[in-house]
Each structure stands twice: as structure tokens, then as C-alpha cells.
Amino acid sequence: MKKFALAGNPNSGKTTLFNSLTGSTAHVGNWPGVTVDKREGIYRKSDESVYIVDLPGIYSLSPYTPEEVVSRNFIIDEKPDCVINIIDATNLERNLYLTTQLLEIDVPIVVALNMSDVVRKNGDEIDASALSKRLGVPVVEISALKEEHLDELMQEAIKASNSPRKGITVIQNRNLLHLINDVNIAFELKNIENPLFHAIKLVELDELEMKMHPETVETVNKFKATFENDIFGNDFEALIADSRYEYITKNYATTLKKNKKSKDGSEKLTKSDKIDKVMTHKIWAIPIFVFIMFLVFHLTFSEDLFFLNGLFHLELNNEVAVNIFSGMAYDGQALQGIPSPGVLLQNWMGFLTGKLIDIFRSFMPVGTWYTSLVCDGILTGLDAVLSFIPQVMILFLFIAILEDSGYMSRVAFILDRAFRKFGLSGKAFIPMLTGFGCSVPAIMATRTLEDEREKNRTIRLMTCFSCGAKAPIWALLAATGVMAGFAGDLFVFAIYLGGIACAIIFALFMKLFSKDRYVSPFIMELPAYHMPQAKNVAAHLWDKLKHYLIKASTIIAACTIVVWFLSNFGWDFWHNNAFNSAFDPNDIASYTFKLGNSTQYYLTEITNKDGVVSTIYNMKWSILGTLGQGLRYIFYPLGALEGGWAHGADAWKYSVSIITGLVAKEDVVATMVQLGLNEETIGLSIAGVYSFAFYNLFTLPCFAAIGAARAEQKGKEFWLTILWWLAMSYGFTLIVYWLGSIFSVVWWAGVLVALVLIGIVVGVGITIDRRNKSNKERIKE
């Protein structure tokens, strides 16, 4: 099968093109190894299928960022049959810069001119055939979004892949060309592949190249000594970058015909500029940011939409309305307000999965171990995970919309200054935002941070950002009785906000103990705002949903079986509930509670209407129960005691679910529900809710994320990260629980504390900054 690579700038529509070409065959490349985010898929619409690799978005083939190195190595080492270079036609000049570098490699290239319809709409025009002539490679105008001319593009690419292409360069400085030629010939004689590309990189004194060809470096240096240029001296790197842009500017001028109307000199504000004026406003930017985040969580988790009930004391008694809003489960209770779309869908999903389990149970024999395994084990566990899908998806939907619209990079722009105070760059913000989705790609994304220390810090802070898999925990806790009324969404908001506040405090703490004040550069494109594209958002959501479903059907299902076994069997395997727990609750005639004879097993004898006696062992004495009771002592100071996390003796259940959460964070809720903890039976106090939530938030992430951290960090640093996660979560939760208990917190306290913490930190930061500045000024004087 032929192999094509997709290369292009970030924001050039590369992902859209990739999704359009490969349809549902795409899968995200796995995390170990050198791929930052290399996706692979198959194009099937031509006679022969083509294997397509989506390389990370890059601006150049310099040796400085991992994405660039990955792309460069892929094209050179894996030798794709063709490189499709996607170019954003609305930003031709900078996009072509990468093209000029790709052209130097001996590989067939086809340029996909994306968004040319937008250019035309603006009244401008791009002469594609002239551009093709200049570049010497086919140029196809496409619209990745509207899927226009994609087949044509692929035909061209297949055609191009049949004939080899020799690298060419656009550099026109005669003296420099002379040197490049000499090195090129030397490389050709040595039978080095892609001689021109390597020659130019060597002349640039590219780090990677100098290591590969140390013997030729001398030639370049000798030449350099004799070389003089008016502007650049003998700085070849600058000279080469400049001659690329020089060429493009010339090229660009003749291929792009600007609409005469817009050429009158006065620059009109585009819609994007107008939006940006508000979103990055000096005063309003930060309140707007907080408001948007609040709205996202409110629409996802609120049980009382827009506080209508809180404000107007609406009580929904109408049976039909209650049925609709709470998922066909009218029990005579009035609804406390209209639920948000997230809660509404969750109610419905829970209703459906609940019904599904009932149907399964009705078809399976009563009182067998496999009925118990399927219904009480696997299905109940999966139900807990699956019923939260609507909420998780709605949260992802909002994040995807914010990302696709271009707002997310503005957030980095707005907050960079604050982040830098805490020893992080605004760039670290992007992995952190990813962390709200999933810690695994987020930790992988820290690879884009060039500075080792910044990378380590960012990885350690990652658990502060509540990942999607943790959302069900908050959703479950938010729905419990102690959160009475409309506080659920505010609790979730407080968890997210509190996480961010702690990230800031922890970062400051790390910075205090670091001697180095170096911060890596922040040079970032701010793409124009555009309407989020339903297709992009849907593709993104589908990706997440698929990932979630795969996880649910594999690792989580496996875990629920293990939990089922451990919670239904005692240490002697004899005392178990697997054979008799699935009786019909309506048939119970009488109970007797007993203490088992020779052993410590508490048991309940149940007699049904037919006089059949079955014995139920208290889960507390199962394998899991005893383990959990041991673990409970570890969590005792954090609230694993009566009145804290638990009603009576349930504390071990919370302890166990923390441990199963290591497998996958969805398992926390799956285990809790399997062990009989749900909205009604969860008996956390308010302080307990916060302590349990924050412990789960900050502690070790799932094994997959730990594995990702292991791949990114070397020896000691990795173990320090593990230690940090353990110590920080324990210490912080301890404080939360005891402060919370002393002041017997109410629902809004979490939000208030989070806001006050952020306020204090920002205040202290500004004071320190001012003092530093005035010190510097004093030194100058």
C-alpha cells in the first residue's frame, strides 16, 4: 500500500483534511515512542487504497521542537511515497515557508491549497497554476471542510508518487548557493540520501545535521570565515530564512491578486477583530473567561438551570414534566428546578441503562453466580460509567467548541503573564487545557515544552486539572443528598476552580524551591476566530466517545469483574454471595441478622415467600471489604470515618474505590456503585465531599497517565513526580477536611475559598513583581 504523509502549519485545516480523507478509519497513534500526535488512517476512494499519516502541525523543519523533529525524521527515514503539503490560502506567505523547506527533500510533493473559497469570498484571487509553475509541484485548490476536490487532490498525489522528484531550493543568494552546491556534491558522492536537504541544513549549522556529518562542518566553517553579507554578516541561518521569505514575497505578489476595493489603505476591522476586541479586552477579558467557564459547567452539571428554582422557587409537580426531566422515574417527588441539558440527558441515559439491566435480569435464572456476575458485576459497573457519557460528552462538546473557535489560544494569551509569574509559560497552558480532557495526551503534549524543568513542573501539576474520566465522580457527588438543591453545579465548579487555584499555588511552591528563573519563549500564532465547524466538533467528540467506549468495554469491564469477585467472596472463597444474591427483592418474606458461627462473617438469612432460605454475607467481610478496612486507616485523617466520608461502616468502600481508580478513573464511580453507594446512600458530609473529591482529583492519575509520565521523565524525576502526587494529594486533602470540619462548610465555601486563594496568590505575585522591579531600578540608579 502506498504511504502518504500530510504536512502543514497548525491551523491550516490539516486535521479536517485528514478526517475527510480517512473517514472513520482514523485512529489516534498510541502514546509511547517518538510520535507526539501522529495519526494514521486509510483512504479508500481510489483504485488502490492509500495509507495516510497525519504529521504534527509545524511551521518549519528546524531542529528545535519535537514536532518538527518527528515530522522531519518521518519524511526522511520512512520515505513516504508522497507528501501532501496543506496550505492555508488565507495565510499564504507564512504557510509557503514550510513548503520551501519540504521542496528540498527528494520526495514527490503535492500542495493542497485549502480555504481558497474563503479567499475568493473576500474578493481576492489566487492563481493556482502560476503557483504550481513556480513551485514546480502540482497545486490543487481544495476545501477540506466542504470536501471539495479531495479526490482530485488524491489523484494528483497518486500520479506524483509514481515518479521520483529531486529536491530543489528557492534560495537565490549566489554565494550561498555556491556553498550549498559544494556540500550537496560532496554528499551525493557519499551516496547520502536527500543530499540537498542535508546540505542546506548543514549550511544552517543545524544541530542534528552537525552531529550526523561532523567531517563536513569544517568546510562550512571555512567558507563562513570568508563570507560577508551587508545585513547578516555570516549568519547563514538568518540568511537562509530571509532568502526563503524573499522568494515567497516575490512569488506571492504575482499569484495573489488582492481585491482592489480593500487596497485603499484603510484597514477594515474584520468580524474576528471585533470579537477579539471584546474577548481580550483589558478589563473584561478575565471576567469573560471566568464567566464562560462557569457557563460550561453550569450547562453540564446544574440541577437547577439558571437558578430558576433558587430565584423563583418553582416546584415541578406535573407528572409529565417530572418524568421528562428525571427520566421517567416519577416517584411523587416534585423536581427542584429544571435540570441543565447535561443532567437531563444523564437522567435519561441512567433510565435507559437501568431498564436494560432489568431486562437482562428478567431473562437470566435467579440465584446463579453468572446472573450475579453479569447483572451485579459487569452491567452495574458499566452502567455507572455509561450513564455519565452524556455529561462527559457535553463537557467535551463545549471544550471542542472553544478550541475550534480559536478562543483557547486567546486564553493562553490572556493568562500567560500570570502563568509566567509562577514559573510556567503560557505554552504550558495548552497541555493543561488538554488535561481537562485526558491526562494521557496532556502529559504527552508537555513534550512541546522545550525546557526540562517547565516540563517536569507541568506534568506534576497535571492532576490538578480534572480529566474527563473524573467528571463522573463529581457528577455523582453533586447529585448526592448533602448537596441539596442547586449547589451541585457550584460544587463541580469549585472542584475545577479549586484545582486551578491549587495548580497556581503548587507552581509557586515549586518555583520557590528552584534556583533557576529561566522561562522558555512564548511565540505563538493567534488564529482568526471562526464559527466552530459542526464537522470538526463532531469528529473530535466521536474520537473521545470511541476512546471512552473502548476503555469501558476493556479495562473497565475487566476491573468490574475483579471488583465483583473480590467483593462477593471471602478469603476462604466458601463464604460468598455469588450464588444467592440475585433473588427477587419482592419475594422476601423475612430477614434474620446473625453473626456467623466459626468465622467473623456477619450474615443475613433471607427467607422468601416459598420458604427458601438464602444467606447473604456482609460485603464488609469480603476480600475487598477487609482490604478496604485496612486501607481505611490510611485515609482516616482525610475523613474516612463516621460523619466524614461515610455513613457508619461504609468508609472502606470509598477507600477501595480510590484504589480501583488507579486502573481508570471511571472505575471510582463504577466501584462505588457496585458496592452499593449511589446518590441516595452516599453519606458524605460537606467537608467529606470536598475532601474525597480533592483526594481523587490530586492523587495518582490512572496507570495509563502514569505510563505517559514515565515515558516523558527520566529516572529520578519520574519518581519525584510519583512522590509529589502522593504527598500533595494527602497533605492538601488533610487541610481541606479539617478546616472544613472546623468551620462546618456550606456549599458556596468551596467556590469562595478557591476565589480567595487565587486572589491572594495573584496579589502576592504582583507585590513580589513590583518589588523586583523597584529593586532592579534601584540597581540601575
Partner 1 sequence: MLKKLDAIQKGETGLVKNVEGDGKIRRRLFDMGVTPGAKVTFRKKAPMGDPIEITIRGYELSLRKAEASLVIIDVEDAQ
**512 or 523: whose CB is closer to partner 1?**
523
**234 or 323: whose CB is closer to partner 1?**
234
Segment 245 to 274, residues that bind partner 1, using CB under 8 A = 245-246
Q: Is 617 helix (H, G, I), strand (E, B) or coil?
A: strand
Q: How far is the CB of 464 from partner 1 (least distance, A)?
A: 21
- Set of cell numbers at residue 232: 547578516
Q: How far is the CB of 34 from partner 1 (least distance, A)?
A: 20
Q: Choose, by CB under 8 A, the member of 79, 94, 120, 511 that binds partner 1.
A: 94
Q: Choose, by CB under 8 A, the member of 390, 426, 570, 644 that binds partner 1.
A: 426
Q: How far is the CB of 135 from partner 1 (least distance, A)?
A: 18
For position 408 contacting partner 1 by CB under 8 A, the verdict is no
**418 or 477: whose CB is closer to partner 1?**
418
Non-local CB neighbours of 547 within 8 Å, separated by 6+ positions: 28, 438
Q: Choose, by CB under 8 A, the member of 50, 418, 479, 563 that binds partner 1.
A: 418
Q: How far is the CB of 214 from partner 1 (least distance, A)?
A: 19
Segment 96 to 135, residues that bind partner 1, using CB under 8 A = 97
Which segment (91-99, 508-516, 661-669, 701-709) binds partner 1 by CB under 8 A? 91-99
Non-local CB neighbours of 602 within 8 Å, separated by 6+ positions: 593, 594, 595, 596, 617, 618, 620, 621
Instruction: Give start and end residues of each alpha helix (H) in 328-438.
Output: 341-363, 369-371, 380-386, 389-405, 407-421, 429-435
CA distances (Å), origin 7, targets 74, 82, 739: 11, 10, 53
Which segment (229-237, 323-331, 333-341, 543-551) binds partner 1 by CB under 8 A? 229-237
- Set of cell numbers at residue 219: 568546510
CA distances (Å), origin 456, targets 66, 339, 465, 714, 726: 16, 41, 15, 10, 16
Q: Choose, by CB under 8 A, the member of 237, 319, 572, 584 that binds partner 1.
A: 237
Q: Choose, by CB under 8 A, the member of 28, 285, 545, 557 that binds partner 1.
A: 285
Q: Choose, by CB under 8 A, the member of 268, 282, 313, 515 that binds partner 1.
A: 282
Residues 143 and 115: beta-carbon distance below 8 Å: yes
Please give the DSSP secondary-structure letter assigned to residue 369: H
Residue 601 has phi, psi (to 5 degrees) of -75, 120
Which segment (16-24, 93-101, 160-168, 429-437) binds partner 1 by CB under 8 A? 93-101
**Burial of 249 per CB tally in 10 Å (0-12, 13-18, 19+):** exposed
Segment 448 to 467, residues that bind partner 1, using CB under 8 A = 450
d(CA 395, CA 404): 14
How many chain residues are in contact with partner 1, going by CB under 8 A? 41
For position 291 contacting partner 1 by CB under 8 A, the verdict is no
Report the half-sphere exposure of 533 (CA within 13 A, side-chain side): 11
d(CA 259, CA 342): 47
CA distances (Å), origin 45, targets 13, 18, 49, 150, 423: 20, 14, 7, 10, 50
Give the chain's largest Cα–Cα span.
105
Q: How far is the CB of 75 from partner 1 (least distance, A)?
A: 17
For position 417 contacting partner 1 by CB under 8 A, the verdict is yes
- Set of cell numbers at residue 195: 543530499
The edge-to-edge listing of strands for the beta sheet with 109-114 is 27-28, 39-43, 50-54, 2-8, 82-88, 109-114, 139-142
Q: How far is the CB of 232 from partner 1 (least distance, A)?
A: 8
Q: How far is the CB of 61 from partner 1 (least distance, A)?
A: 9
Torsion, Cα of 548, 549, 551, 553 (10° steps): 160
Q: Are strands 125-126 and 602-608 parallel, antiparallel or unpaired?
A: unpaired
Can you give the C-alpha Rg of the chain in angstroms? 31
**48 or 264: whose CB is closer to partner 1?**
264
Which segment (155-163, 232-240, 438-446, 735-743) binds partner 1 by CB under 8 A? 232-240
**413 or 548: whose CB is closer to partner 1?**
413
Segment 679 to 738, residues that bind partner 1, using CB under 8 A = none
First-to-final CA distance of the chain: 70
Q: Choose, by CB under 8 A, the member of 127, 147, 152, 242 that binds partner 1.
A: 242
Which segment (177-185, 239-247, 317-325, 347-355) binds partner 1 by CB under 8 A? 239-247
Q: How far is the CB of 546 from partner 1 (least distance, A)?
A: 34
Q: Choose, by CB under 8 A, the member of 18, 74, 297, 413 that binds partner 1.
A: 413
Within a 10 A sphere around the Cβ of 65, how many other Cβ atoms?
Answer: 18
Q: How far is the CB of 91 from partner 1 (least distance, A)?
A: 5
Q: Mask of contacts with partner 1, 44-83, x by CB under 8 A?
A: ---------------xx-x-x-------------------
Segment 514 to 533, residues that bind partner 1, using CB under 8 A = 519, 521-528
Residues 307 and 316: beta-carbon distance below 8 Å: no
For position 353 contacting partner 1 by CB under 8 A, the verdict is no
Q: Is 605 helix (H, G, I), strand (E, B) or coil?
A: strand
**245 or 351: whose CB is closer to partner 1?**
245
Q: How far is the CB of 195 from partner 1 (least distance, A)?
A: 23
Q: How far is the CB of 233 from partner 1 (least distance, A)?
A: 11
d(CA 332, CA 113): 62
Q: Choose, by CB under 8 A, the member of 23, 24, 93, 773 that binds partner 1.
A: 93
**313 or 517: whose CB is closer to partner 1?**
517
Q: How far is the CB of 93 from partner 1 (least distance, A)?
A: 4
**281 or 647: whose CB is closer to partner 1?**
281
**92 or 442: whose CB is closer to partner 1?**
92
For position 241 contacting partner 1 by CB under 8 A, the verdict is yes
Q: Are strands 139-142 and 602-608 parallel, antiparallel or unpaired?
A: unpaired
**286 or 321: whose CB is closer to partner 1?**
286
d(CA 634, CA 623): 18
**270 or 590: whose CB is closer to partner 1?**
270
Planar angle of CA 609, 611, 615, nearest 5 degrees = 100
Within a 10 A sphere around the Cβ of 776, how many other Cβ atoms?
Answer: 10
**278 or 746: whose CB is closer to partner 1?**
278
**276 or 666: whose CB is closer to partner 1?**
276
Segment 293 to 322, residues that bind partner 1, using CB under 8 A = none
Q: How far is the CB of 73 from partner 1 (least distance, A)?
A: 18
- Set of cell numbers at residue 142: 481544495
Q: How far is the CB of 177 from partner 1 (least distance, A)?
A: 18
Q: Choose, by CB under 8 A, the member of 280, 599, 614, 615 that binds partner 1.
A: 280
Residue 614 has phi, psi (to 5 degrees) of -125, 155
For position 283 contacting partner 1 by CB under 8 A, the verdict is yes
Which segment (16-24, 195-203, 410-418, 627-635) binds partner 1 by CB under 8 A? 410-418
Q: Choose, by CB under 8 A, the member of 83, 414, 424, 438 that binds partner 1.
A: 414
Which amino acid, one-letter code, is at 68?
Answer: E
SS (H, E, C) 653-691: HHHHHHHHCCCCCHHHHHHHHHCCCCCCCCCCCHHHHHH
> Which positions lie near partner 1, rule CB under 8 A?
59-60, 62, 64, 91-94, 97, 231-232, 237-238, 241-242, 245-246, 276, 280-283, 285-286, 413-414, 416-418, 420, 426, 450, 519, 521-528
